[in-house]
Amino acid sequence: MYGLSIIISKAIALSVLAVLITLSVKAQEDSVRYAVSMAYDEQLPLVGVDGNLYFSVAFHPQNNGGSQDPGDIWIAPQEEEGFGVSAPLASLNTPQYDLLVGFLHPDTVLVYHQNLNNRQVMQGYYRSGDRWERGAEHLIPGFRSTGNHFSARLDAEGSLMILSMESFGSYGNEDIYLSFRKDTTWSRPQNLGGTINTYRQELSPYLSPDEKTLYFSTNAYEGEKSIGVYTSRRMGEGWTEWSEPRPLGLPEMEGWDLYFYQDPYRDRYFFTNTRTSDGYGNIIWVGEALVESSEVVAPKESIVPEVAISVPDTSTSSPAEETLPAPSEPELDLTGQLKNLQPGETLVLEKLLFQRASVDLANEESLVELNKLANYLKENPEHVISVEGHTDNYGSSRLNERLSLNRARKVRDILLENGVAFKQVRVNGWGGKKPIATNSTAEGRQKNRRVEIILLN
């Protein structure tokens, strides 16, 4: 048996909780609500390109294997104010544990089956009308989960898989591994090393879109929660050197926190919370509500004060009467500009530059600029900002939107690494939808390729 239902004991079914109840969280102004809350164990939230919420449910009588089935794949359709009535995706499920690992393409998914024809299988499926049809099996050399808990996710491009499992070479219980894709074949799973993995459990991993920041749940550290979400930053180009894991700082709720997941299309995230150590998991949704998705605070236009210019009348004035221009004020650095920023106002991070078509910073000065922003936010923990990524309008609009969002997330990841609280930073990616200059010239396009911050409060 696999998943969260194995970590916790199977409890008497809870009374059905209402969907979309707003939770009261101390010092939390984000929208915090239940995305899915049934009297069963809901795990592994994942948002599809269609905007629907996919997840696993354990021990539900509608599962393929009935109330003894440890996990089937379900869907909650996107609606105007949240997600609609959940239902199982019968064509993806078996009587054993099934997990939607991720989307390889808008119409192709990768599914893990605990027992398909007496084997653990990574199976591809493609959409055919209202059903999913079985496609090619994906082969992973040396892949075998030998423990009781397994989870996996694809990265944003579908080219890398991050896995949690007990397997050959594990440090103790479940460890975190990664595998790289080449068509329908994957590389042998690689252990992420001793900074991440311990003799305890490392569970439910999620990798940021820039593949630099890892989020996972563990019981390896003494903290307020016996199992909580931690984050670590990848050091260098390899995959075994990581910063020391630290708590992510999710909204304060009783119970265990697992399966942290950032929506790749909206500024919000999900995780599973058990509320109590013997309760079933509910999927929590934090951040942007669907009805607010098009109502993000828009950047204010840059207003230049009008200055009355006096043109001397040369027929009556003398040189002694000419007005000298007022001395210009010294240009403020980023810290000074931040101190003058008012709620709702926008500031372009002029010195923040990225390498072409990449989320990698272009130079050391860009990192210095982000360090200044991080210091300001740490000194002013009451402030919340939105990091807004923009591109010019050349090329694919979809790729531009993804690039701009990933750059905004990169900024957030660096701020978090420098000690900024997660709740202080939101992100948006607009692609080329909000130009501030013409795209018909190189100079204008350069101005449009920018990252801005909006002070929300």
By residue count, the chain amounts to: 457
Are 262 and 340 in a shared domain? Answer: no
Specify whether the CB–CB gap between 140 and 122 falls below 8 A.
yes
Q: Of 270, 292, 314, which residue constitutes the final position of a domain?
A: 292
Nearest to 177 by CA among 212, 148, 214: 214
Can you read off the two tokens belonging to residue 138? 């994906």
In a structure prediction context, what are the per-residue pLDDT tens digits for the chain, which is 457 residues long? 455 444 443 333 333 333 333 333 333 445 788 998 888 999 999 998 888 999 999 999 999 999 999 999 999 999 887 899 999 999 999 999 999 999 988 889 999 999 999 999 999 999 888 889 999 999 999 999 998 899 999 987 889 999 999 998 788 889 999 999 998 999 999 999 999 999 999 999 999 988 999 999 999 998 778 899 999 999 988 999 999 999 998 988 888 999 999 998 788 999 999 875 445 899 999 986 533 322 222 222 222 222 232 333 433 333 333 444 444 455 678 888 999 999 889 999 999 999 877 888 989 999 999 999 999 999 999 999 999 999 988 777 777 888 898 899 999 999 999 999 988 999 888 888 889 998 878 788 888 899 999 998 8
> Is residue 10 one of the residues assigned to a domain?
yes
Can you read off the two tokens belonging to residue 31? 């929208």
> Is residue 300 one of the residues assigned to a domain?
no
Bridge partners, 175 (sequence order): 165
Are 141 and 265 in a shared domain? Answer: yes
Are 350 and 253 in a shared domain? Answer: no
Are 45 and 106 in a shared domain? Answer: yes
> Is residue 439 one of the residues assigned to a domain?
yes
Residue 331: per-residue pLDDT: 63
Phi, psi for 379 (deg, rounded to 5) = -75, -15
> Is residue 301 one of the residues assigned to a domain?
no
- What domain range includes position 356? 333-455
Phi, psi for 302 (deg, rounded to 5) = -75, 120
Are 348 and 416 in a shared domain? Answer: yes
Calpha distance 231→237 (Å, rounded): 18
Are 51 and 139 in a shared domain? Answer: yes
Residue 152: per-residue pLDDT: 97
Residue 3: per-residue pLDDT: 55
The 10 Å Cβ neighbour count of residue 300 is: 11
Q: Of 267, 292, 317, which residue constitutes the final position of a domain?
A: 292
> Is residue 106 one of the residues assigned to a domain?
yes
Nearest to 205 by CA among 231, 236, 239: 231
CATH at residue 387:
3.30.1330.60
> Is residue 95 one of the residues assigned to a domain?
yes
Residue 45: per-residue pLDDT: 96
> Is residue 225 one of the residues assigned to a domain?
yes
pTM exceeds 0.85, yes or no: no
Specify whether the CB–CB gap between 132 and 89 falls below 8 A.
yes
CATH at residue 105:
2.115.10
Residue 439: per-residue pLDDT: 83
Q: Of 292, 322, 352, which residue constitutes the final position of a domain?
A: 292
Of all residues in the chain, what percent are helix, strand and coil, respectively (each to 5)? 15, 30, 55
Are 410 and 273 in a shared domain? Answer: no
Are 340 and 252 in a shared domain? Answer: no
E-assigned strand segments in 70-120: 72-76, 78-79, 82-83, 87-88, 98-105, 108-113
> Is residue 123 one of the residues assigned to a domain?
yes
Contacts (Cβ under 8 Å, ≥6 apart) of 280: 5, 8, 11, 13, 14, 39, 40, 41, 42, 58, 274
Are 264 and 370 in a shared domain? Answer: no
SS3 230: strand
What is the DSSP annotation of 388-401? EEE--S-S-HHHHH
Is 370 exposed, middle or buried (CB count within 10 Å of its CB: 0-12, 13-18, 19+)? Answer: buried
Specify whether the CB–CB gap between 98 and 73 falls below 8 A.
yes
Phi, psi for 367 (deg, rounded to 5) = -65, -40
The angle at the Cα of 166, spanning 162 to 167, to the nearest 5 degrees, equals 90
> What's the total number of domains in the chain?
2
Are 281 and 337 in a shared domain? Answer: no
What is the DSSP annotation of 231-288? EEEB-SSSSS-BPPPEE------SS-EEEEEE-SSSSEEEEEE-SSTTSPPEEEEEE-
